[in-house]
Chains A and B, each alone.
Chain A
Amino acid sequence: MRIANDGGMSYCRWADKNITQASIRDVGPTVFFQQHMSEVRSNMLIGTAPAGCAHCHQMESHNKISGRQKQLLKVGVRVEHFEKSLASSPWVAEFSNPDCKQLPQDWQIDLGNYCNSACVFCDPGSSSKLATEWKKLGFIDKLPPPSWSADDVLVAEFVDTLAQSKHIQYLHFIGGETLLTPAFKRILKVLIQYGINRTATIGFTTNLMSWDDEVVELLTQFNGVNLGMSIEAFDIVNDYVRWPATMPLVHKTLDQWLQLAKQHNWLMQLRTTPTVLTVGKLLSVYEYAWHNNIAVESCNFLVDPKFMQPSVLPVAYRENIIVEMDQWIAKHATNGETIVNTRDPNSAQQQTVQDLQSYVNYLKNEPDNSNRLPELVSFLKKLESGRGNSIISYLPEYEELFRTAGY
């Protein structure tokens, strides 16, 4: 299950962010899991798909491995053998047990919006730097309220909940920037005190603009670490999109993490959020991943802001990108089954090809939403008024497109 930055809890880390059922400020995580989530479970049992699952269904329509598939896999359920694998799951008796006594074993914990990046596709709830900027520009009236993780009492209660379970398998933390978030360090320390580090794997995503020796030292004490490193392109456009990133610092930090991860046998992934601005340079991420034998995990196709979705790129502009991607896939594809376990380091290259293929499918099949270009241009111009940069310097090949849309 998931705790969002504002403390809202939801039944799945992949569920629509807007669908939360209760706040950790009002209800303990155990009560939420055992009681509040029973309605979701009951509906699923009678065949009603939860409303929050729509993004996963969109991913599957482009043959992208969805969060739904990844989470089902953890309880032994495979979509391609759905009925029999479900009936064979160790959880089959629990699925229909109205008196749930289980505790969550697998969490996504959003720690708040502390962040030194202000990525153009991000939102104030996930970046304090962006929130300050948006307030100054008049996009928002007030800053988001403090995260639940800023409340020491809530954090202590949460960690106590974790300590009650003997079966914590995986804890995935995101921010903001996790390395800058005080609660990340605090929670890691308490997990070590409780001995949870001996069996649990910690996952987190970092923006390649931060480093913290103390956190690194704490992480080395865990059973496993899944390290996600955010990058949109190995190209100068990454500096624009992940502002104020600079490629030299990103490269240096990436090399530092790679070295550390290899030393400790941590699982590495490049995490990317393709947008209309970066989808043309996306191949560079997959190329890097292939050569370094690490996987790329791009989450669900971008939902908000809508004017930043890759589908805003006109069909005519997509053609060369699709050709380049198709050629790369033809050169690197290997025969094999679909990889659902995206945390299998032995299939990183195959996963990389598979994930890129989903973007080819997306670019070929998603409707042309270029009618949103004026919204995009208007937004970028306002941001650039404070940042003193220009998208044209980073993407000169789109100059005519953006000028036509009002740039």
Chain B
Amino acid sequence: MKNFLELLATELHLTVTVNHQSHKAGLYDILEFDINDVVTIDTIEILPKYSYLGNNGTLKITKPFYQWLHGATNQGWLLKPGQSD
């Protein structure tokens, strides 16, 4: 396993599969899907599982995918840095 410093130097991608067609996306990319698509990201089911999070026929993931997944899967509070402390 890489250590943290090596990890920071590594370019990481998401493997996005839409209706059985795969492509790569950046780890922090904004992602948008038609709510009727069948979608997995890194083999994690996204649609139809989270179709209820969609809006106007679209599921838009506007934050880094794994941060979004934290909320979508009800993982509790996500602490954020408080630079203004």
| A interface list, Cβ under 8 A from B | 44-47, 73-76, 78, 81-96, 101-103, 105-106, 164-167, 169-170, 337, 340-341, 343-344, 346-347
Contact = CB atoms under 8 A, between A and B. Distances in A.
Contact of A73 (B67, B76, B80): B76
Interface of B: 1-5, 7-8, 10, 12, 14, 27-28, 42, 64-67, 70, 73-85
A46 B5 CA distance: 7
Contact of B82 (A46, A76, A93, A167): A167
Contact of B66 (A84, A106, A166): A84
Given A46-B5, A341-B76, A343-B76, A85 B82 contact: no
Contacts of B1: 47, 82
A317 B10 CA distance: 51
A76 B67 contact: yes
Contacts of A46: 3-5
A93 B79 CA distance: 14
Nearest to B76: A341
A134 B75 CA distance: 43
Contact of A88 (B4, B66, B73): B66
19 contacts: A44-B4, A78-B70, A78-B75, A84-B27, A85-B70, A87-B8, A88-B27, A88-B65, A88-B67, A89-B67, A101-B85, A102-B85, A166-B84, A167-B79, A167-B85, A169-B77, A341-B75, A341-B76, A344-B75
B28 A45 contact: no
Given A46-B4, A165-B85, 14 more contacts: A46-B3, A47-B4, A74-B76, A74-B77, A74-B79, A88-B27, A90-B78, A91-B80, A91-B81, A95-B4, A103-B82, A166-B84, A343-B76, A344-B76
Given A76-B70, A95-B4, A84 B85 contact: no
Nearest to A97: B81
Given A84-B42, A101-B83, A76 B78 contact: yes
